[in-house]
Structure 1
Amino acid sequence: MSSSILRISIGALTAAVCLLGASGAGAEIIFCNSFGHVVNVAIAYPQSDGSFISRGWLSLSDGACAPFDTAIHVKTFYFRGESVQYRGTDGHMKRVYWGKGDKFAMWEKDNYQYYNARQRVYNSTLMEFTQGPISGGDDVSAKVIFTPDSAIIEIATSPAAQ
């Protein structure tokens, strides 16, 4: 028997949509895994023409942190995390998902990159992603930490904004 769980911290989601003045010089979107099992990460972000691109997957072993792509410089982003299947303490197979809100095209079977990702593209499936912080100025800088209870979003701000 397999069970699926969706968790997101409401406090983190509320903090994620605040406006900030992040410094573009060191703007990065970092993902960290404090879940206990491998977590795979997908991301979606706006393009200059208003459309969205979705990309997957960044694989994070437990305790690892990594940027999705250091070349991404955006005012906001959306993310989805999926654990690998694992045996829970009750002996049943489980898989945990992080992502709630807007739907974007994704492909679970392999790495992907979809343009016009707000609609189903090719063999994709529309799945929910959580919006990260929104920058009111330069590119957004944030760290998303996947935990057993939620996805925690830490926002990096410039010294002038603090």
Structure 2
Amino acid sequence: MKRSMFRVAWLGVSISLLLVGSSPASSHIIFCNEFTQEIFVAIAYEQFDRNGKHSGWIGRGWLWLRPGKCNDFDSALAVPEFYWRAETNLYQVGDKMHRYNWPHADGGDKYFWDLTEDFNLYDTDQRPTNSKPTLSAYRKSALSANGPINVEYTFTKDAEVSISYQGFK
């Protein structure tokens, strides 16, 4: 009797350890700023219901990047792909005021609504009714071939964007 109780207890511990160790991996979506000005980043990603059916788009912003710093957008996020955009505040260049935007004037891959202040918008592909939104161009990330995406974007001092992926197609 004691032996079977021990087996049941051991089985319970083993299952508990498996469950703890089987949590889903998270994405590593990191943005780095080598540009001379502060940069603000927004992302949009597809939301799915528990059956895997598309249930809308989530838009979130703004991640604040000081020059010389890197930040993970959200360490709990687990998505295979997403869309992103970034911009600076207005700053002076010579005698003119300037704001830098990524993606550049060539447009983006998809358009989403966002806000000037921090935001977390559901159905960000549809115009919100309770705020003053802006329809903005977003650039698509690569699609991860094996689960949540791992990517690092670096805004260079020349206003270019270098991208480093792991596990993409």
Question: Shorter-chain TM-score: which interval?
Answer: 0.7 to 0.9
Gaps of 5+ in 2: 1-23
Match status 1:134 vs 2:139: no
TM-score (norm 2): 0.73
Per the alignment, residue 39 of structure 2 pairs with 39
Per the alignment, residue 143 of structure 1 pairs with 152
Number of residue pairs matched by the alignment: 134
- Segments of 4+ moved more than 4 angstroms: none
Matches of residues 1-162 of structure 1 in structure 2 within 5 Å? 25=25, 27-48=27-48, 49-50=53-54, 51-88=56-93, 90-99=94-103, 100-108=108-116, 110-122=117-129, 123=131, 124-147=133-156, 148-157=158-167
Gaps of 5+ in 1: 1-23
Bigger RCO of structures 1 and 2 (CA < 8 A, at least 6 apart): 1
How big is each residue's C-alpha offset from its partner over 1:88-126, in whole Å with a ceiling of 9 and x where there is no partner? Answer: 1x3211000002221011001x11111111111132221
Root-mean-square deviation (Å):
1.9
Counterpart AA for 2:134 = T
User: How far off is 1:85 after superposition?
Assistant: 1.1
User: How far off is 1:26 after superposition?
Assistant: 6.3
The percentage of counterpart residues that share the same residue type is: 32
